[in-house]
Amino acid sequence: MKVLVMLLFLASAAASLGAQVSSAGQDASSEAPARVARAVRVESAPVIDGRLDEPVWQLAPAIRDFVQHEPVEGAAPSEPTEVRILYDGEALYVGAWLYDRQATSLVLGEARRDVDLRDMDAFIVVLDTYLDRQNAFVFGTSPSGVEYDGQVTREGEGGLPGVAGNVRPQRGGGSSSGGDVNLNWDGNWEVATSVDSAGWYAEFRIPFSTLRYPRGGEQRWGLNFARRIRRRNEEIFWSPVPRQFTVFRVSLAGILEGVEAPSRNAIAITPYALTSAARFYGPEPETDLSAEFGGDLKFSVTPSLVLDLTYNTDFAQVEVDEQQVNLTRFNLFFPEKRPFFLENAGNFAVGTPQAVELFFSRRIGIGPDGSLVPIRGGARLSGRAGGFTLGALDIQTDAVSAADGSVAVAPANYGVMRLLRELPNRSRVGAIFASRVNTDSSGDYNFTYGVDGQLGVGQALILDGYLARTETPGRLGGEHAFALQSSYNTRAWNVAVSYREVAEDFNPEVGFLDRPAYRFVSLRVMRRVRPAASWIRELRPHVTYREYFDLDGFSETRLVHIDSHFEFPNGAFFQLPAINFTREGLKAPFEISPGVVVPPGTYDNVEWGFAYNTNLSAPVSVSGRIDIGGFYTGHRKGGTATLTGRVGDRFLTQFRTTFYDVDLPEGSFQTAVIGAKISYAFTPRIYLQSLLQYNHQSDQYSGNIRFGWLSAAGTGLFVVYNERRSTANRWRHLDQAVVVKFTRQLVIGG
C-alpha cells in the first residue's frame, strides 16, 4: 500500500510539473469549435476508378483547410489537399485530390493490404460513427491503391496507430486489451487511385453495411483526414490534433453532417470450401486427405448491433506466428490473427496488454502446444444498444485425441459477456464475464469476472484500472487481480505510473497471464524536446523504473532504464547507448537452457543497449537493437537486426535475426531465431508471400508460403503450403501440408 500511495503521489506531482512547463494540457485545438464538413446526396454514384473527373464530385463542397501535424504543428501544409464527400442510398463516397508539385517523387511503398502507411505517401479517413469521441473506423490508401482499414477503440491509446503518430503499427501486433488500432479487421469497401503530373487522387466507396451507426436517419459523425507526404516526413490533418497524439484522437475530430443513412438490416453470408493434403513423418508416416465446408453469417439486427454466426470455423489462410527467443522464466505473447475474433475485439478487451488479459481469444481453438483445436461453431453479438456497448460470444470446440487414443484436449464451451458504458471526456465503465466449461463428463470449468473503468481529465490525464476474480475447482488461495494506472501526456512531457497485483491462484483460462502471483510497480518520465537545428526533429530523454515482487515482497525482476531517443527528419532513429540496471531474483533453480541451471539468488547487473533504424521508406533499410552486459551469474551479448529491401511497390524482402550469446559459470550457450519474409504483390489484391524461419532452440525449420487472390472483406482464393523440418536430423521432414480454400462474401440488403 505504501508503494501504491507513493506512485500515485509521483504521478500527481509529475502532472503538476507538466502543467507548469507546458500548455499542452489546454491545447488550443481542444478549445476551438469543431470543424464541420457536409456530405451531399446524389442519385447517380461516381464510378470508382480513382480519376475523380466526373461532374458529380463538384456538387459537394470542398474541404481544404488542412494544417500540419508534423513537423511544424499548426503550420500551412507544403502541398494543397482537397476532399469532397458524397453519398447515396448504398454507400458513402470520399474523393481526395492530393496535389503535389513533385509528383514524380511520390514514395509508393509496398502494395500489400494493411501495410504500414508511415513508410509511403498516404491518405486516410477516420469515421467516428457513434460520435462517442473514443472509437472509429479507419480507411486509407496510398498512390499504389493499397487497401488499409481498421477499427480504433479508446482513441488507439496503448495500441498501434497507423499513418500518423509516434508509434509504428504492426498488423496483428499489440494487444487485445486497452486502446488499440485493429488492422486485422477487413471491411467490405473499395478504393481506387491514380497519379498524374499534378499529384495523386483517391476515390473511396464505403458501404453503409460495413459501418455501425445509430438507427437510420440523419447522422452526425466524427470525422478527420490525415495525409502523409513521405519525402518530407510531413503529416497534415483536417481537424488539428496536438502532435503528442495521433489522428486517432477522435475526441478532437471534426464533424460530418448531412448523411441520411439507411436503417435496413443487411445480411452478409461468407461460405467457404476447403481441401487439404497433409503428410506426417515419423516411425509410421501417414497421409491425411480432407475436404471441408463451413462459413460465417453476419446479420445487422440494427445498424448498430450485429449478430455473427460461424459454423466449422477455419483459419487456413491466416499468417503463421513469427517465432521468438525466450530467455525469461515467463510466458511469451503471440497476437490474435484470426478474422472471426477480430471484429470489435477492442470492446472485449479488459486488463493490462500482454500481461493480464481477462479475455484472450487465442485460448479458443488453439491448444496449449499451439496445435489447432476444431471449432464446431459459435455466435457473437456485438455493437451498441440503449447507450451501452455490448458483446456476447459463445463458441463450441471439439475434442482432440492423442496418438494413443486418449483425450488430449477435452471438448469445451467458451462464453464471454461484456458490457461497457462510454462516458464524456474519454471516460468509461464496464464489466466482463468469461467462462470455459468442458462439455464431456468431467464438467471441469473456469470462470473469470471483472470490472474496469477509465477517467479522462482534460486532454492530458487518464486514470484507469480494473478488478478481476477467477473461479477454478481445487484452487483455494487468492484468486483476484487488480491494477491502477495513470498517464499524463503533453507536448513536452509523458509520465506514466502503474501498480498491479496478481494473487496466487488467479487463473484466467480464457485470458492471458504473463506470470503468476506477483506485485508490479512502474514509473516512466519522458521529456520531448524540439531543437531549433534542422538536422534533428525530436529528442526524448527518459527514465523508466519497473519491478516485480512476489507476494512475500521478494524482488523477482527489476529494471531501471536511462536513455535518450534521437529522431531525424527522414524518420531515422537511434538511441544513445541506454544503461539498464537490472535484477533477477530466483528462489528456485532455473534451467535457462538444457543442462544450464542458474542457482537461487539475487543477481544485480548493468547492461548497455542500443536501438536504431534508418529511413524505413528507403529502398533498403536496417533496424534493430544490441544488448551487452551482465546477465544472471555471467554475461550476455546479442540483439536483433532486420534488413528490408523493396523494389518498386510490388516486391519486398525482409531478413530478421535474433541472436544471443550467453556465458555463465554454469554453462554457455547460444540461441537464435532467423527468419526471411519475401512477398510480391501483383496487385493490391493479388499477392504471394513466404515466411521461412529457423529456431536454434528447437532445432527446427518451418516454411509458410501463401498465395491470395482477394475479393471483398478479405475473402477470396487462398493456396497455402506449410512444412517443418528437423535441423538436428539432416533436415528430415516432420510434416507437410497443402491447403486450397475459396471463400466469398455475399451481401443481402446492404
DSSP state of 410: -
Q: Mean pLDDT in the chain?
A: 88
Which 3 state secondary structure label does DSSP give 660?
strand
Residue where the block lists cell 527514465: 543
As given in the structure block, the three cell numbers for residue 635 are: 554475461
Residue 634 confidence (pLDDT):
97
- Whether the predicted pLDDT of 451 surpasses 80: yes
**If you write DSSP's letter for every residue of 682-743 in order, what string do you get?**
EETTEEEEEEEEEETTTTEEEEEEEEEEE-GGG-EEEEEEEEEEEGGGTTEEEEEEEEEEEE
Give the pLDDT confidence score for residue 750 in this predicted structure: 59
Residue 33: predicted pLDDT: 80
pLDDT on residue 500: 97
- Mean pLDDT, rounded, for 190-219: 93
Asked whether residue 4 carries a pLDDT value surpassing 50, the answer given is no
Q: How confident is the model at residue 333 (pLDDT cuts 50, 70, 90)?
A: low
| For the chain, percent of residues with pLDDT exceeding 70 | 89
More confidently predicted of 228 and 314: 228
Range(s) of the chain covered by CATH 2.60.40.1190: 34-261
**C-alpha closest to that of 122 among 64, 23, 223, 202:** 202
Report which of residues 572 and 157 the model is more confident about: 572
pLDDT the model gives residue 194:
97
Tell me what pLDDT residue 713 has: 79
**745 grid coordinates:** 462474401
Residue 373 has a pLDDT of: 87
Residue 201 parent element (H or E): strand 199-207
Residue 438 clears pLDDT 80, i.e. is over it:
yes
Weakest-pLDDT range from 157-171, 479-493, 504-518:
157-171
- 71 prior amide bond cis, ω within 30: yes
pLDDT digits (tens, 9 = 90+) for 335-374: 676 777 777 777 888 999 889 999 988 888 887 776 788 8
CA distances, 160 to each of 194, 638, 675 (Å): 28, 27, 23
Tell me how far apart the alpha carbons of residues 90 and 280 are, in angstroms, rounded to a whole number: 50
Residue whose entry in the numeric block shows the C-alpha cell 537486426:
641
Residue 303 — pLDDT band, cuts 50, 70, 90? confident
Q: What is the pLDDT of residue 624?
A: 96
Q: What is the pLDDT of residues 102-158, one digit of tens each?
A: 999 999 988 888 888 999 999 999 999 999 999 999 999 999 999 999 999 888 875
Q: Which three cell numbers stand for residue 285?
A: 508416416
| Rounded distance between C-alpha atoms, residue 347 and residue 290, angstroms | 36
pLDDT of residue 332: 55
Residues 625-634 have a mean pLDDT of 96
For residue range 79-95, list pLDDT tens digits in order. 999 999 999 999 999 99
**C-alpha–C-alpha distance, residues 42 and 44, integer Å:** 6
Q: What share of the chain has pLDDT > 90, as a percent?
A: 68
User: Is pLDDT of 166 > 60?
Assistant: no
Q: Could you tell me the three cell numbers for 692?
A: 521461412
Multiple choice CATH, 34-261, 2.60.40.1190, 3.90.1720.10, 3.30.70.370, 1.10.10.10: 2.60.40.1190
Nearest to 525 by CA among 490, 501, 499: 490
- What pLDDT is recorded for position 43? 94
pLDDT of the residue at 8 = 40
Is a pLDDT exceeding 60 seen at residue 463? yes
pLDDT at 167 over 60: no
Per-residue pLDDT reduced to its tens digit, 642-692: 999 999 889 999 999 999 999 999 999 999 999 999 999 998 899 999 999
Task: Give the Cα separation of 20 and 434 in Å (integer).
Answer: 44
Split at pLDDT 50, 70, 90, the class of 319 is low
**In the 8-state DSSP scheme, what is residue 77?**
P
Lowest mean per-residue pLDDT among 168-177, 179-188, 387-396, 552-561: 168-177
Q: Could you tell me the end-to-end alpha-carbon distance of the chain, in angstroms, rounded to an integer?
A: 55
Non-local (6+) Cβ contacts of 552 within 8 A are none
Place of cell 480494473: 466
Predicted pLDDT at 324: 59
State how far the alpha carbon of 338 is from the alpha carbons of 182, 268, 313, 345, 366, in Å: 12, 18, 10, 11, 11
Which pLDDT score is estimated for 326?
A: 58
At residue 186, the pLDDT reads 85
Cα 96 to Cα 82: distance, rounded to the nearest angstrom: 6
Backbone angles phi, psi at 330, to 5 degrees: -125, 175
CA–CA distance, 193 with 95 (Å, rounded to integer): 10
